[in-house]
Amino acid sequence: MADRVTKYNAGTNIFVEVDGEKKTLVIRVDLTHEIGPSGSGKSISVATTGGNQPLVGVGGEAKFYLGMNVYKRA
C-alpha cells in the first residue's frame, strides 16, 4: 500500500503531517527555537504560519487551512 502521509513545512518552525487515509493532522513545533521578539517586546515568537496556510493532503487538494502562532512571554 502506498504511503498516505504528506509531510511539509507549514511556516516558520511549524511542520505538519497530513494523513489522508486516517484524516488526521499532526503539528510539530520545536519549543527551543526562537524567531524573535514581538513589536511590543512583551513576547517572543517561537513559531508562525505567517497567516492562514492551506493544508495540502493526499492528491494535492487544499480543503482545510491552518493559522497558528506560538509565543512565550519575554
Q: What confidence category does residue 62 fall into, taking pLDDT thresholds of 50, 70 and 90?
A: confident
* pLDDT of 66: 95
Distance CA 43, CA 28 (A): 20
15-59 confidence digits (pLDDT tens): 999 888 888 999 999 999 999 999 899 999 999 999 999 888 756
* pLDDT of 1: 44
Read off the pTM. Answer: 0.83
* pLDDT of 23: 85
